[in-house]
């Protein structure tokens, strides 16, 4: 009986309170113990915990192997024989690790989605920049054409004309203005044929620069904003109408 007790105490790593000093400064010593075995069982949630070393009682305190309970409480136990140290660490929770893995995968998926959306935003911004640049180029070209038309036709038939252009690449609006306070009689002396020639030349010059643009326009009295004639140019077949009649 004494041999069984001695071997059990010598070979088991046990949980205890109060038998030996807990201080790290405890002196190394040997003590003979008298252990009592009473077929002690350890139950966890009603189920017996198995062990290779039987629990025992010393001086009224029950001792059980530390490693025996480690698995019950999800702990890892390591014995450092060099430093006589017991290392207790938490075991990784498989369920927790699976949750972390799933969250990491979701974070990556969302990050990839964010990256894709950022790329789409960059592409849209580039497209907007291209459109703005194209629009700026068109406006500049339209302004240059307006200056050219005024240079070429601003003194048509020795009258003072003011030509303005507006619109976009699909449709350009033309206003040919003359001040009746100064030129009403001279304007009325112009034949319709000469006015048609003026309109035809202006529309063709516009098509030389913007061949896909339809043209709509008016000839007005700038002193009263009264419309005198209207005209249109269809770019699909390059037909021009003046006051409803094809030129």
pLDDT for residue 162 is more than 60: yes
Strand partners, 216: 173, 232
Residue 32: per-residue pLDDT:
85
The dihedral formed by the CA atoms of 244, 172, 174 and 232, expressed in degrees to the nearest 10: -10
Structural domains present in the chain: 2-90 (no CATH), 140-246 (3.30.70)
In angstroms, what CA-CA distances link 69 with 84, 148, 173, 217? 20, 97, 91, 96
Report the alpha-carbon distance of residue 169 to residue 139 in Å, rounded: 10
pLDDT for residue 121 is more than 90: yes
Residue 247: per-residue pLDDT:
87
Residue 25: per-residue pLDDT:
55
Report the alpha-carbon distance of residue 175 to residue 161 in Å, rounded: 10
Residue 197: pLDDT band (50, 70, 90) is very high
Residue 17: per-residue pLDDT:
35
Residue 106: per-residue pLDDT:
92
The helix-helix angle for 94-153 and 192-209 (nearest 10°) equals: 150
Between residues 164 and 134, the one the model is more confident about: 164
Average pLDDT, the chain: 85
- Note the pTM of the prediction, 2 decimals: 0.50
Report the alpha-carbon distance of residue 49 to residue 46 in Å, rounded: 9
pLDDT for residue 14 is more than 60: no
Strand partners, 230: 218
pLDDT for residue 230 is more than 70: yes
Between residues 127 and 202, the one the model is more confident about: 202
Residue 159: per-residue pLDDT:
96
Share of the chain above pLDDT 90, in %: 55
Between residues 221 and 67, the one the model is more confident about: 221
> Which DSSP letter does residue 190 get?
S
């Amino acid at each position: 009986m004494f041999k069984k007790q001695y071997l059990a105490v010598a070979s088991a790593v046990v949980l205890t309170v109060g038998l030996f000093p807990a201080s790290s400064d405890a002196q190394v010593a040997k003590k003979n113990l008298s252990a009592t075995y009473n077929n002690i069982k350890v139950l966890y949630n009603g189920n017996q915990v198995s062990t290779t070393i039987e629990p025992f009682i010393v001086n009224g305190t029950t001792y059980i192997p530390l490693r025996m309970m480690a698995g019950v409480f999800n702990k890892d136990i390591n014995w450092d024989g060099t430093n006589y140290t017991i290392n207790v660490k938490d075991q990784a929770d498989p369920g927790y690790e699976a949750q972390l893995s799933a969250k990491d995968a979701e974070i990556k998926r969302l990050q990839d989605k964010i990256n894709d959306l950022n790329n789409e935003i960059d592409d849209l911004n580039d497209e907007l920049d291209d459109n703005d640049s194209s629009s700026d180029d068109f406006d500049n070209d339209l302004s240059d054409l307006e200056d050219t038309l005024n240079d070429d036709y601003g003194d048509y038939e020795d009258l003072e004309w003011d030509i303005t252009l507006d619109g976009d690449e699909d449709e350009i609006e033309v206003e040919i203005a003359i001040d009746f306070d100064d030129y009403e009689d001279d304007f009325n002396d112009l034949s319709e044929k000469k006015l048609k020639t003026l309109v035809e030349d202006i529309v063709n010059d516009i098509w030389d620069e913007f061949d896909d643009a339809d043209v709509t326009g008016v000839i007005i009295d700038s002193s009263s904003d009264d419309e005198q004639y209207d005209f249109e140019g269809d770019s699909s077949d390059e037909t021009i109408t003046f006051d409803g009649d094809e030129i």
